[in-house]
C-alpha cells in the first residue's frame, strides 16, 4: 500500500491511492525492479472552473515487476475515480464541488411576503466511503440554522448509529452543527444510516427535525469466497474434449451488480502438468470445468489437482482460491484390496440394502489395528448412501440413506475407503473399492401440477358443465404409460371426472351454503393412476371457490316473542340470509294476512333488522304474525312469529299470572299415580281370589290315619311287602278309554295332555296321582295296550278273584256312592271311584 499525496484543494488535503494485488518475490538478479508507484507524489493542476464530471485529471504509474499493465486502484476521495490503467477522472459536477467545498448546509430563508413560509430542511443523501483511515472523528457535513446569529442554537442527531445501536458511530457537535463520523464504516454490516437532526434554541425549538441519510460507498474490500474449500470430481479417461466435469461457485460480499462483486474464474495451476499443462479449462463466467485435451490415462495419472482462482472487478481485483481434485476413473487395472461391485437397488426405498464388502487384515485380530472403518469418499454428493461397519469389524454394509430416483440418475459410482480405527504406523495407501449402484426403475405414481389447484365457479353451474382440466404427468417417462383419472374424495357428490382427459365436470348442482363448503371453498381429492399391471395412484387437491348467487331468501331468527298489550316496547327481530353480501342486506319487510290490522313492521336504520310493534291493544293470548321478508335482489318468503300478548304495561312482558285452562302438571301426575295404584290393588285382589278358589287337595294319607304296625297278608299270592308307594308301575295311559275315542288310531286334532311331574314332597302324592289319572283318561294318544298295572301272577284260589275283571275309572255303569258312607278314612277312595268335585271340574 502506497500513499500518494494529491493536490491541495478544499476537497480533501491528503488523498490516498491503494493498489491491491499479488506481488511476486524477486531473485537477486531481479532486485533492480522495485514494485510500486514510480513517484511518491503526483501533482495535477486543474482550474476549478474547468472541472466537470468525467474530466481526466492525470495518470499515475505503477508496476509489480511483471508484464501486467492493469491494476485495481482505490482512493479515499470519493470525487476521484482511478481507472485500472492509473488514469484519474473527476467524478462530481462543479456544482457538487462548490457544495462540498463549503461543507455547510443552511436552512432556506423565509419568503418576504405577508405569509411566512415554514422552513424545512432539504438535505440530499450524504455519501461517505467505507474503510476511511481517519484521523477520527472526521467531519462529514455541517448544518446551520438561519437564526444562529440571533439565538444560541444547539444541534443534535438521533437514530441508529447515534443514540441507538451502534451507539456513537456518528455524533454532532452541539454548538457548530458538524456531523462527525467517529470510526471507519463497513458497508457489508450496514449500507446506510438515517438520522433526525434537531436544532434547539434557548427559547425553544428553532427548526423542525429533518431526516439526514448517509450512504456508505462500497469499496472493494472483500475477497471472493468459494462455497467449498475443496471440490471433488471424477472423470472417465475416455471423456471427450468439452465434457463438463463440475462447477465451482464463489461469492463476493461487496455491493451486488457492481464491479467490486463481478467475479471471473481461472485455473492458475494444474498438477501433474502431464501429458499437457492445460488438460482442463474453466468457463471464466460460470465456473464450469471441462476437459480441454485428450490423453487422460488413469494408469499413468489417476488424479489431477487444479488450483482455481476467483477474482472480482472482472478478474482484476481481489482473489479467492480453492482446489479441485479430479479422479480419473478406469476399468480398475490395478486391483485394490477389494474389487468393484455392481449391484441393483430399486428406487424410492430408504434404508435399502445395497451390498456387503469384506476385507482382510494381517494385523492381530480383534484389535483396533485390525478393526476396519469404512467411509464413502467420492460419488455421493447428495448423501444418498451410508456405510456402516458390520459386527465382525471386517465388513462394510452399504444402505440407502434416501430414496434413489431412476429418472434423475440411473447409476451411482461410489468410492469406498477402508481404514483402521487407529492411524497407520507407516505411510500406507488407503484401500478403496468402487461400488456401482444401478437404480432399478419402479412404477411411480403420477404427479399433479400443481398439487393444489384452485378455480372459481358460480355455485349454480349446470350439470355436465366443465369446472377445470386437472391433469398429472407420469415421472416414469421411459415406460410411456397412460395416465387416467378418478374421484377419490367428493364428500358432497357434486363432481365427475373424465377418465382419459382429467376434465372435471359438475355431476349435481353445487351449493355455496352447504355445510361441507368452508369459507366459500369446496375441496375434492382427485386421483391419477397409470395403466401398469400394479397401478400407482397419485393425488391432487382441487379447491373450487364457489361464487355466490341469490338462491336463498332471508329468514327471521326469532320464532316467538312476548309483548305487553299496553305501552309495549318495539320488538327487534334479526334477519339472516345464507347468501353473501351482494345478495343479502338491505332487506325489506311487509305484513301478510290478518296480521296487518294488529301489528306494524318496518326495517331498522341499517336495513338488517325488523322493528315489530302492536298497532292496537290486544287481548291476552297467543297470536300468529306473518312477515314477508325480501333481500336486495327481490327474493322473499313468509316467516311466521308466535307472539304472546300479556296483560302488562311497559317493556318487560310478565305473563306469569296467566294460566291456561286445564289441570296443572303435578295434579295430572298425582291422578295418574292414583290410577296406577288402584290397578295394582285390583290385580292383587284377583290373584288372592283365584288362589282361594282352588280347593286344596287333601293328601292321600290323612293326618288322623295312624299306622302303628305293618301287617302282612299272603292271601293274594304275594301281596304288599310294605305300605310304601311304588310309582314305577304307573303308566301314562289306562287300559280303557271312553267309547267316543278310537283305540287303534292316534288322533291328530287334539294336543297331548300335560302330565304333572313327580313332587318332591310326599304329602303331594295324592294330588299327583289324581291329576295324572285325569290326564290319562283324556289322553287321545295312549294306545290300547297301555294299562295301569300288569299282573303276571296273582296266585290261585284268591278270595278277591282276578283284578283283570275291574274296569277303569271311566266306566260309568258302576255305582260307588256307597263309598262315601265309609267315613273319612275312605274319602279319597270314594272320590277316585265315585266321582265328585274333581270330576265336575273336568
User: What is the rounded radius of gyration, in angstroms, for the C-alpha atoms of the chain?
Assistant: 59
Dist. CA 244–CA 247, nearest whole Å: 8
Instruction: Return the higher-pLDDT residue of 55 and 801.
Output: 55
Percent of the chain clearing pLDDT 70 (strictly above):
73
Confidence of residue 101 (pLDDT cuts 50, 70, 90): very low
Which architecture characterizes domain 225-329 according to CATH? Answer: Sandwich (2.60)
Q: Mention the CATH class of domain 447-547.
A: mainly beta
pLDDT at 693: 62
Confidence of residue 308 (pLDDT cuts 50, 70, 90): very high
pLDDT at 322: 96
pLDDT at 184: 92
pLDDT at 646: 86
- Please check the confidence at residue 359 and state whether its pLDDT lies above 60: yes
Task: For Cα atoms 387, 388, 391, give the angle at the middle one, nearest 5 degrees.
Answer: 150
Instruction: Return the higher-pLDDT residue of 260 and 831.
Output: 260
Element of type H or E holding 775: helix 765-777
For the ranges 34-38, 58-62, 556-560, 785-789, the lowest mean pLDDT is seen at 785-789
Dump pLDDT digits (tens) for 680-726: 999 888 888 887 765 555 555 555 554 455 555 555 554 445 554 45
Three cell numbers written together for 530: 397409470
Q: Which residues pair with 105 in a beta bridge?
A: 143
Dump pLDDT digits (tens) for 732-765: 444 444 444 445 555 555 566 677 787 777 777 8
Work out the number of other CB atoms within 10 angstroms of the CB of residue 461.
Answer: 19
Dist. CA 255–CA 84, nearest whole Å: 19
Instruction: Return the higher-pLDDT residue of 25 and 776.
Output: 776
Which architecture characterizes domain 555-649 according to CATH? Answer: Sandwich (2.60)
Dump pLDDT digits (tens) for 652-677: 777 765 444 455 677 888 899 889 99
User: What is the number of alpha carbons within 13 Å of residue 74 lying toward its C-beta?
Assistant: 22
Instruction: Count the helices and strands in the chain (H runs, E runs).
Output: 6, 48
Strands ordered across the beta sheet of 264-271: 230-236, 319-329, 303-311, 264-271
Residue with cell 471440490: 231
Instruction: Return the higher-pLDDT residue of 165 and 50.
Output: 165
The answer to whether residues 437 and 345 touch, using CB atoms and an 8 Å cutoff, is yes
Dist. CA 266–CA 278, nearest whole Å: 12
Mean pLDDT, residues 255-283 taken together = 92
pLDDT at 820: 67
pLDDT at 6: 36
Three cell numbers written together for 686: 284377583
Which range in 260-264, 610-614, 639-643 is most confidently predicted, on average pLDDT?
A: 260-264
The answer to whether residues 542 and 548 touch, using CB atoms and an 8 Å cutoff, is no
Q: Which is it for strands 466-469 and 503-506: parallel, antiparallel or unpaired?
A: antiparallel
pLDDT at 494: 87
Sort 405 into a burial class: Cβ within 10 Å, 0-12 / 13-18 / 19+: middle
Dump pLDDT digits (tens) for 545-580: 887 777 777 877 788 888 888 877 887 888 877 777
Sign of the CA dihedral with 825 first, then 829, 832, and 836 last: negative
Mean pLDDT, residues 612-617 taken together = 80
pLDDT at 545: 86
The contacts found for 267-276 with CB under 8 angstroms, 24 or more apart, are 267/306, 267/307, 267/308, 267/309, 268/307, 268/308, 268/309, 268/321, 269/306, 269/307, 270/304, 270/305, 270/306, 270/307, 271/304, 271/305, 271/306, 272/301, 272/304, 274/300, 274/301
Instruction: Return the higher-pLDDT residue of 796 and 505.
Output: 505
Sign of the CA dihedral with 296 first, then 299, 300, and 306 last: positive
pLDDT at 292: 93
Three cell numbers written together for 181: 463520523
Confidence of residue 183 (pLDDT cuts 50, 70, 90): very high
Torsion region of 315: left, alpha or beta (phi above 0 gives left; psi -120 to 50 gives alpha) = left
Sort 112 into a burial class: Cβ within 10 Å, 0-12 / 13-18 / 19+: exposed
Instruction: Return the higher-pLDDT residue of 91 and 140.
Output: 140
Q: Mention the CATH class of domain 104-217.
A: mainly beta
pLDDT at 783: 59
For the ranges 203-217, 235-249, 586-600, 828-842, the lowest mean pLDDT is seen at 828-842
Strands ordered across the beta sheet of 341-346: 341-346, 431-440, 411-420, 372-378
Strands ordered across the beta sheet of 80-82: 56-59, 87-90, 80-82
Task: For Cα atoms 524, 530, 533, give the angle at the middle one, nearest 5 degrees.
Answer: 130
Dist. CA 417–CA 428, nearest whole Å: 13
| Cα 360 to Cα 363, 383, 395, distances in angstroms | 9, 27, 9
Which range in 243-257, 349-363, 564-578, 600-614 is most confidently predicted, on average pLDDT?
A: 243-257
pLDDT at 1: 35
Instruction: Return the higher-pLDDT residue of 807 and 626.
Output: 626
Give span(s): CATH 2.60.40.60, the chain: 104-217, 225-329, 341-440, 447-547, 555-649
Residues 6+ apart with CB under 8 A from 194: 159, 160, 211, 212, 213, 214
pLDDT mean across residues, the chain: 75
Dump pLDDT digits (tens) for 460-511: 788 888 888 888 887 877 677 888 899 888 888 888 888 888 888 888 888 8
Dist. CA 577–CA 581, nearest whole Å: 9
Dist. CA 94–CA 55, nearest whole Å: 11
Confidence of residue 449 (pLDDT cuts 50, 70, 90): confident
- Please check the confidence at residue 536 and state whether its pLDDT lies above 90: no
Residues 6+ apart with CB under 8 A from 247: 286, 287, 288, 289
- Please check the confidence at residue 8 and state whether its pLDDT lies above 50: no
Taking Cα atoms as reference points, which of 46, 48, 66, 40 lies closest to residue 58? 46
Mean pLDDT, residues 292-318 taken together = 90
Work out the number of other CB atoms within 10 angstroms of the CB of residue 629.
Answer: 24
- Please check the confidence at residue 774 and state whether its pLDDT lies above 90: no
The answer to whether residues 525 and 488 touch, using CB atoms and an 8 Å cutoff, is yes
Residue with cell 372435471: 504
Mean pLDDT, residues 164-173 taken together = 92
For the ranges 90-99, 527-536, 564-573, the lowest mean pLDDT is seen at 90-99
- Please check the confidence at residue 298 and state whether its pLDDT lies above 70: yes
Sort 820 into a burial class: Cβ within 10 Å, 0-12 / 13-18 / 19+: middle
The answer to whether residues 543 and 521 touch, using CB atoms and an 8 Å cutoff, is yes
Which range in 84-98, 186-200, 477-491, 635-649 is most confidently predicted, on average pLDDT?
A: 186-200
DSSP 626-646: EEEEE-TTS-EEEEEEEEEEE
DSSP 561-592: EEEEEESPPPEEEEEE-SS-GGGSPSPEEEE-
| Cα 802 to Cα 112, 712, 791, distances in angstroms | 169, 20, 9
Q: Does domain 341-440 sit in CATH 2.60.40.60?
A: yes
Dump pLDDT digits (tens) for 595-614: 777 788 888 877 777 887 88
Residue with cell 438520522: 195
Kindly report the backbone phi and psi dihedral angles of residue 644, in degrees, each rounded to the nearest multiple of 5, phi listed first.
-100, 115
pLDDT at 4: 40
Three cell numbers written together for 397: 454394509
User: What is the number of alpha carbons within 13 Å of residue 538 lying toward its C-beta?
Assistant: 23
The answer to whether residues 434 and 415 touch, using CB atoms and an 8 Å cutoff, is yes
Which range in 20-34, 37-51, 538-552, 802-816 is most confidently predicted, on average pLDDT?
A: 538-552
Work out the number of other CB atoms within 10 angstroms of the CB of residue 559.
Answer: 9
Q: What is the reported pTM?
A: 0.33
Amino acid at each position: 500500500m502506497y500513499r500518494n499525496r494529491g493536490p491541495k484543494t478544499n476537497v480533501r488535503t491528503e488523498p490516498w491511492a491503494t493498489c491491491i494485488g499479488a506481488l511476486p518475490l524477486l531473485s537477486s538478479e531481479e532486485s533492480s525492479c522495485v514494485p510500486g508507484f514510480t513517484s511518491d507524489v503526483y501533482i495535477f493542476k486543474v482550474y476549478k472552473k474547468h472541472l466537470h464530471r468525467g474530466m481526466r485529471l492525470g495518470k499515475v504509474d505503477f508496476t509489480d515487476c511483471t508484464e501486467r499493465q492493469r491494476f485495481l486502484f482505490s482512493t479515499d476521495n470519493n470525487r476521484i475515480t482511478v481507472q485500472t490503467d492509473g488514469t484519474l477522472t473527476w467524478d462530481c459536477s462543479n456544482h457538487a464541488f462548490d457544495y462540498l467545498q463549503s461543507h455547510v448546509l443552511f436552512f432556506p430563508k423565509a419568503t418576504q411576503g405577508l405569509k411566512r413560509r415554514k422552513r424545512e430542511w432539504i438535505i440530499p443523501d450524504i455519501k461517505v466511503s467505507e474503510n476511511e483511515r481517519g484521523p477520527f472523528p472526521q467531519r462529514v457535513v455541517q448544518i446551520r440554522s438561519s437564526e444562529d446569529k440571533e439565538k444560541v442554537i444547539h444541534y443534535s442527531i438521533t437514530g441508529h448509529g447515534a443514540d441507538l445501536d451502534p451507539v456513537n458511530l456518528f455524533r454532532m457537535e452541539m454548538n457548530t452543527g458538524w456531523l462527525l463520523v467517529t470510526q471507519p464504516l463497513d458497508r457489508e454490516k450496514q449500507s446506510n444510516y438515517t438520522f433526525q437532526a434537531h436544532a434547539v434554541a434557548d427559547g425553544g425549538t428553532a427548526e423542525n427535525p429533518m431526516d439526514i441519510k448517509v450512504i456508505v460507498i462500497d469499496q472493494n474490500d472483500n475477497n471472493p469466497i468459494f462455497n467449498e474449500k475443496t471440490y471433488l470430481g471424477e472423470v472417465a479417461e475416455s471423456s471427450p474434449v468439452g465434457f463438463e466435469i463440475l462447477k465451482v461457485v464463489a461469492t463476493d460480499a461487496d455491493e451486488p451488480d457492481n464491479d467490486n462483486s463481478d467475479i471471473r474464474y481461472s485455473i492458475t495451476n494444474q498438477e501433474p502438468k502431464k501429458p499437457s499443462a492445460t488438460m482442463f479449462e474453466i468457463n471464466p463466467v460460470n465456473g464450469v470445468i471441462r476437459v480441454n485435451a485428450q490423453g487422460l490415462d488413469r494408469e499413468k495419472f489417476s488424479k489431477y489437482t487444479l488450483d482455481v482462482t476467483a477474482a472480482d472487478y472482472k478478474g482484476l481485483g481481489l482473489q479467492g482460491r480453492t482446489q479441485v481434485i479430479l479422479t480419473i476413473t478406469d476399468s480398475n487395472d490395478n486391483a485394490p484390496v477389494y474389487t468393484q461391485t455392481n449391484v441393483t437397488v430399486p428406487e424410492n426405498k430408504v434404508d435399502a440394502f445395497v451390498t456387503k464388502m469384506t476385507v482382510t487384515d494381517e494385523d492381530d485380530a480383534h484389535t483396533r489395528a485390525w478393526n476396519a472403518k469404512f467411509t464413502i469418499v467420492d460419488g455421493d454428493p447428495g448423501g444418498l448412501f451410508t456405510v456402516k461397519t458390520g459386527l465382525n469389524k471386517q465388513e462394510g454394509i452399504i444402505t440407502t440413506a434416501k430414496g434413489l430416483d431412476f429418472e434423475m440418475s440411473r447409476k451411482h459410482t461410489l468410492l469406498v475407503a477402508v481404514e483402521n480405527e487407529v492411524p497407520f504406523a507407516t505411510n500406507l495407501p488407503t484401500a478403496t473399492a468402487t461400488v456401482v449402484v444401478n437404480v432399478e426403475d419402479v412404477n411411480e405414481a403420477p404427479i399433479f401440477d400443481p398439487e393444489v389447484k384452485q378455480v372459481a365457479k358460480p355455485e349454480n353451474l349446470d350439470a355436465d358443465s366443465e369446472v377445470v382440466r386437472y391433469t398429472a404427468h407420469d415421472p416414469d417417462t421411459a415406460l410411456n404409460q397412460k395416465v387416467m383419472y378418478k374421484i377419490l374424495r367428493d364428500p358432497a357428490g357434486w363432481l365427475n371426472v373424465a377418465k382419459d382427459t382429467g376434465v372435471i365436470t359438475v355431476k349435481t348442482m353445487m351449493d355455496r351454503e352447504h355445510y361441507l363448503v368452508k369459507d366459500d371453498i369446496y375441496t375434492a381429492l382427485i386421483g391419477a393412476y397409470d395403466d401398469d399391471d400394479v397401478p400407482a395412484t397419485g393425488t391432487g387437491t382441487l379447491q373450487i371457490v364457489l361464487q355466490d348467487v341469490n338462491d336463498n331468501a332471508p329468514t327471521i331468527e326469532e320464532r316467538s316473542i312476548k309483548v305487553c298489550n299496553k305501552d309495549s316496547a318495539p320488538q327487534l327481530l334479526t334477519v339472516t340470509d345464507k347468501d353473501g353480501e351482494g345478495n343479502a342486506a338491505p332487506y325489506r319487510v311487509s305484513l301478510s294476512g290478518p296480521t296487518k290490522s294488529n301489528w306494524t313492521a318496518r326495517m331498522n336504520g341499517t336495513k338488517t333488522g325488523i322493528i315489530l310493534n302492536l298497532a292496537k291493544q290486544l287481548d291476552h293470548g297467543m297470536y300468529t304474525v306473518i312477515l314477508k321478508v325480501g333481500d336486495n335482489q327481490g327474493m322473499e318468503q313468509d316467516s311466521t312469529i308466535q307472539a304472546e300478548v300479556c296483560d302488562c304495561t311497559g317493556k318487560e312482558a310478565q305473563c306469569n299470572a296467566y294460566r291456561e285452562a286445564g289441570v296443572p302438571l303435578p295434579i295430572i301426575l298425582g291422578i295418574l299415580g292414583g290410577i296406577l295404584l288402584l290397578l295394582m290393588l285390583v290385580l292383587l285382589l284377583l290373584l288372592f281370589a283365584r288362589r282361594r278358589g282352588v280347593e286344596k287337595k287333601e293328601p292321600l294319607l290323612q293326618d288322623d290315619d295312624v299306622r302303628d304296625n305293618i301287617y302282612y297278608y299272603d292271601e293274594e299270592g304275594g301281596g304288599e311287602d310294605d305300605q310304601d308307594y311304588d310309582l314305577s308301575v304307573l303308566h301314562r295311559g289306562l287300559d280303557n278309554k271312553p267309547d267316543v275315542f278310537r283305540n287303534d288310531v292316534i288322533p291328530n286334532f287334539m294336543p297331548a295332555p300335560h302330565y304333572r311331574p313327580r313332587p318332591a314332597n310326599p304329602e303331594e302324592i295324592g294330588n299327583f296321582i289324581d291329576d295324572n289319572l285325569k290326564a290319562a283318561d283324556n289322553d287321545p294318544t295312549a294306545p290300547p295296550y297301555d294299562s295301569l298295572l300288569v299282573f303276571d301272577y296273582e296266585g290261585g284260589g284268591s278270595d278277591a278273584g282276578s283284578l283283570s275283571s275291574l274296569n277303569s275309572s271311566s266306566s260309568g255303569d258302576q255305582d260307588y256312592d256307597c263309598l262315601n258312607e265309609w267315613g273319612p278314612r275312605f274319602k279319597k277312595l270314594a272320590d277316585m271311584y265315585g266321582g265328585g268335585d274333581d270330576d265336575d271340574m273336568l
